[in-house]
Amino acid sequence: MRIIITITACFSLLLMQSCLKLDQEFYSEVTPSTFFKNKSDVYAALYRPFTHARWYVGEDRWRLQEYTADNFAITTKGRHWYNGGENERYHYHRWTPDDNWIWGTWRGTLMGVALCLDVKSDLAQLDYEKLTMTAEDQVAHLAQLDALIAFFYMRGLDYFGGMPIFTSLEGESLPRNTDEELFKHIETLLQNAIEALPEKAQDQETEGSLYKVAAAAMLAQLYFNAESYISKPMYTEAKAIATDIIDNKYGTYSLDGDWNGPHGFNNNKSPELLWAIPSKFKYLQYDWFYADFYHYNTRQYFDQDMGGNNGAHLTPSRQPNGNVYTSFKLGKPYEKFTAGDVRKQPYVYNGGDDYEGMFIIGPHKTPDGRPINGGEEYKDKPLTFVDQVGRFSEVGPDKKYNSIEQLPSKMSEGEENTGVRLVKVPIPNIGNNDKRWGAYNPVIRLAEIYYILAECHFREGNLAEAASLVNQVRKRNFADQVDPNPVTSTNLDKYRLLDEWSIEFLGEGRRRTDLIRWNAFVTESWWDHQPSQSAHLNRFPVPTQAISGNNNLQPNPGYN
C-alpha cells in the first residue's frame, strides 16, 4: 500500500512541476526531516488526503447512494444509455461484485485511509517548532487526519459493513474486521478527534479544515445510523450530540437565511457549513455531475462551453398521461416540493453571484429566449423537459402507440427530454467562468443536524418538537418565510419525514442511507422499482477484484 501512495504522491508532484528545479538536492533516503522544509510543505501534505475526500464524495460513491434509491435514474434513451444493462442493475437492485462503481468505492475508501495514515506517519515525526509551528498545531493536524480516517471508514461501513482496519501502512492482505469492530474504531477516532481539534473562530470563513464540530457531527451520524450498522439503536446518543451542536457547544454556527447560501458561489461564507471541501478554480470538480445530468445542447441553456451526456434525471412524479403516481409513497421528488418553494422554479443565472431555482423543466431555451432543439427523438424540434418517462415520440398515426395511455413507463423507455434535471451546484455563463465550480462541496451542513435531532424526537414520540425543527429549515424556502405546507404533529409520519430528508438534501449523495435507516430500501416501491425484500442488499458485495487480491477477505452474506 505504501508503494501505491508513493506513486500517487510522485505523480501529483510531477503535475505541480515541483521536480523541474535544476538545483535539486538529492538524498540517499527521503525522510520527513529532509522533505519538509517549511510550513507550506506541511500543509501541502496535510491536505493531500482532503483532495481525495473531495473526489470521494462524488462520482461512484454518489451514484451508489442515489441511483440505487428512489430519487434518480439513468434511463435508456433510444440508442443511448443502456450501457450493457448497468443502470438497470443498480435501479432494480441486481448489482454484482463485478460492477465498477462498487469496486471503485471499496478501493477509494481504503485509499483514503492509506493516504491519511501515510501523512500522519510523516507529520508525527516532525519537529514543528523548527518549522515555525507549534506543538498544538501538530496535535490538531494529527487529529484532522484521525477524523478523516473515521470519515472514510464510516462511509465504508455504510456501503460494505466491516472492512480491514489499518492503523499503519505496514500490514497487507488483512482480513475484514467485524461491523462492531469497525464501528468501535470509528467511534474512538472521532471521540479522540473531538478532544484534540480546535473550534473554528466565530465568523471565520470555511477553508476546508476539520474542526471540533465536524468530528462531533460525524459521531452523531455514526450513532444516528447505528441500528443499520450494528443492529443497536443509538438515537439517544445521536440526539445528545445534535443538541450540543445546535446549542453551539462545539463552535458558533447557524442556519443560513437563504436557501442557496450553503450551495452558492460564495458558500464558504455560509454559517451553516460544518465541513465543506474547497473546489475553487478546479474547473473539472463537478464535470462528472454535469456530464451525467445535462443534455448535449444544454450548454446553450447555461450559455456555456460544456457538453453533457444526457443520462440522469429525477425519477418521474407523473404517469405518461400526466396524472401523479398514487400507487407508491416514495420517490416523486419534484412533486414533493410544495408550490411556492423558491427552489422549485427553473434554474436561471442572473449574473454575478445571483441565480434562482434549481431545476431544468419545461421548454428548453437560451438565456435570451430562443428555443433549444433536440438531436435525437426531437431532432430540429424544440426540447421540453417533462417530469415523466415514456416514448412520447412513438405515439400517433402509423407509430408504435396509438395513444399516450398505451405508453409504458420504465427504465428502458426514456427519450432525450425525459425527466427533470437538477442544478444543485450553480453554473455561471461562460463570461463568468472564473466562478465555475467555485462553490465548496458541502459535506456536513447544520440543516442535517436539525433533521437528525428532529428524527430522534420523532422516534421518541415528540412529534411537535420534531415538526418545529424541520420547519425552522423549511421556512427559508418561501416568500416572507410563510410556508403553506408546514410539518405538523398531525401530518408527520415516517413518509413525511423521509420526504423532508429528500427535499432538503436532494442530490447530496445520502438517499440510500436514509432509506436503509427506515428499513425502506428493500421493502418499499417507487416508480417502476419493486421491493426485493432481501435484507442483504442493504450492503454492497465485497468486490471480486478486492477478494482476488486478498484471499483473507470474505464476501458479504447473500452474495456468491
Tell me: the pLDDT tens digits for 199-243?
Answer: 998 878 778 899 999 999 999 999 999 999 999 999 999 999 999
Per domain, the residue ranges of the chain are 2-7+34-256+543-549
Of 247 and 34, more confident: 247
Per-residue model confidence (pLDDT) at position 85: 94
Residue 475: strand, helix, or coil: helix
Torsion sign (Cα): 362, 366, 369, 374: negative
Residue 455 near residue 238 (C-beta atoms within 8 A): no
Each residue of 480-525: pLDDT tens digit?
999 999 999 999 999 999 999 999 999 999 999 999 999 999 999 9
pLDDT band at 281 (very low <50, low <70, confident <90, very high): very low
Amino acid at 395: V
Burial category of 79 from C-beta neighbours within 10 Å (exposed 0-12, middle 13-18, buried 19 and up): exposed
Among left, alpha and beta (phi > 0; psi -120 to 50; other), residue 315 is beta
Burial category of 373 from C-beta neighbours within 10 Å (exposed 0-12, middle 13-18, buried 19 and up): middle
Residue 274: strand, helix, or coil: strand
Torsion sign (Cα): 48, 50, 55, 61: positive
Judged by average pLDDT, the poorest of 304-313, 383-392, 431-440, 490-499 is 431-440
Per-residue model confidence (pLDDT) at position 109: 98
Residue 11 has pLDDT above 90, yes or no: no
Residue 373's Cβ-side half-sphere holds a number of Cα atoms within 13 Å equal to 6
Per-residue model confidence (pLDDT) at position 284: 52
Cell numbers that stand for 560 in this block? 456468491
Residue 274 near residue 444 (C-beta atoms within 8 A): yes
Residue 407 has pLDDT above 70, yes or no: yes
CB atoms inside a 10 Å sphere around CB 177: 19
> For 433-493, where are the E strands, in sequence order?
441-445
Residue 558 has pLDDT above 60, yes or no: yes
Greatest pairwise CA separation for the chain in angstroms: 82
Among candidates 427, 422, 423, 391, which has minimal Cα distance to 315? 422
Residue 19 has pLDDT above 80, yes or no: no
Residue 224's Cβ-side half-sphere holds a number of Cα atoms within 13 Å equal to 29
pLDDT band at 72 (very low <50, low <70, confident <90, very high): very high
In the beta sheet, which residues pair with residue 73? Answer: 313
Residue 14 has pLDDT above 60, yes or no: no
Per-residue model confidence (pLDDT) at position 80: 95
Mean pLDDT (whole number) for 347-370: 97
Spatial CB neighbours of 521, under 8 Å, sequence gap ≥ 6? 68, 69, 512, 515, 537, 538
DSSP label at 520?
A: -
Amino acid at 314: L
Cell numbers that stand for 389 in this block? 418517462
Residue 71 near residue 409 (C-beta atoms within 8 A): no
CATH number for the domain formed by residue range(s) 2-7+34-256+543-549: 1.25.40.390
Across the chain, mean pLDDT equals 92
How far lies 20's CA from each of 23, 39, 170, in Å? 9, 21, 31
441 phi and psi angles, rounded to 5 deg: -90, 110
* 3-class SS letters over 354-405: EEECCEECEECECCCCCECEECCCCECCECEEECCCCCHHHECCCCCECCHH
Per-residue model confidence (pLDDT) at position 207: 81
Strand 362-363, strand 273-277: pairing? unpaired
User: Can you tell me which residue has the cell 414533493?
Assistant: 336
Residue 320 has pLDDT above 70, yes or no: yes
With pLDDT > 90 as the criterion, what percentage of the chain qualifies? 86
Each residue of 135-160: pLDDT tens digit?
999 999 999 999 999 999 999 999 99
Residue 10 has pLDDT above 50, yes or no: no
% helix / strand / coil in the chain, to the nearest 5? 45, 10, 45
Among candidates 115, 189, 113, which has minimal Cα distance to 146? 189
Residue 29 has pLDDT above 70, yes or no: no
351 phi and psi angles, rounded to 5 deg: 100, 155
Alpha helices in 197-282, H assignment, sequence order? 212-224, 226-230, 235-246
Residue 6 has pLDDT above 50, yes or no: no
Spatial CB neighbours of 278, under 8 Å, sequence gap ≥ 6? 54, 207, 208, 268, 440, 441
Residue 557 has pLDDT above 80, yes or no: yes
